[in-house]
Amino acid sequence: MKRVISPLLLSVVLVSCSTDENNGDNQSIVINAEEVETMVTRGEWKITFYADSDEDDTSDYDGYVFTFNADGTLGATNGNTSLSGAWSITESENRDDDSTSDVDFNIFFASPDIFEELANDWDILKYTGSKIELWDVDVDDGSTDYLTFEKI
């Protein structure tokens, strides 16, 4: 009997976990850190939305292609300029905001200024195989930043 119940229970749990839907009922979504890491290291990405404290700054990154390498390096190039940074995914046990996830998508660029703005420990809002939506709430002033990457 246990063999019949265990696969049935496992299938119910797997079906109930969703990464690409938000029903608006404030339930936490399940973020699989390994899945996200594998996803972003496959292919090239572009920023399709970036809002800094409700100001749309997406155009600052027009033409840039981002590559998330498995060794933790992050590249950004627009054909004329190539920038190097770092990235990682970490799981935190202590949340300091109202995020729906305890998985952080960390981005670091030392310069130029517009890329330093991307440097943050972003929370994953939702993701699919071709899109990842991130957000961050500033604990000092309560402002919210949003960042979306889409696969090219």
Count of helix runs (H) and strand runs (E) in the chain:
3, 9
Mean pLDDT of the 38-51 span: 97
Q: Please check the confidence at residue 111 and state whether its pLDDT lies above 50.
A: yes
Q: How confident is the model at residue 29 (pLDDT cuts 50, 70, 90)?
A: low
Mean pLDDT of the 51-64 span: 95
Q: What is the pLDDT of residue 94?
A: 54
Q: Please check the confidence at residue 11 and state whether its pLDDT lies above 80.
A: no
Cβ contact 74:62 at 8 Å: no
Cβ contact 54:135 at 8 Å: no
Lowest pLDDT segment from 91-100, 108-117, 121-130: 91-100
Closest to 36 measured CA to CA, from 1, 71, 88? 88
* Between 3 and 36, residue with greater pLDDT: 36
φ and ψ at 33, to 5 degrees? -60, -45
Q: How confident is the model at residue 93 (pLDDT cuts 50, 70, 90)?
A: low
Single-letter amino acid code for the residue at 64:
Y
Strand residues in the chain grouped as ranges (E): 45-52, 55-56, 65-68, 73-77, 82-91, 103-108, 120-128, 131-137, 144-151
* Between 60 and 32, residue with greater pLDDT: 60
Domain 30-151: CATH class, spelled out: mainly beta
Cβ contact 66:44 at 8 Å: yes
In this structure, which long-range contacts are made by residues 60-69, counting pairs with CB atoms below 8 Å and at least 24 apart in sequence?
60/114, 61/114, 65/152, 66/149, 68/40, 68/41, 69/41
Lowest pLDDT segment from 11-20, 24-33, 48-57: 11-20
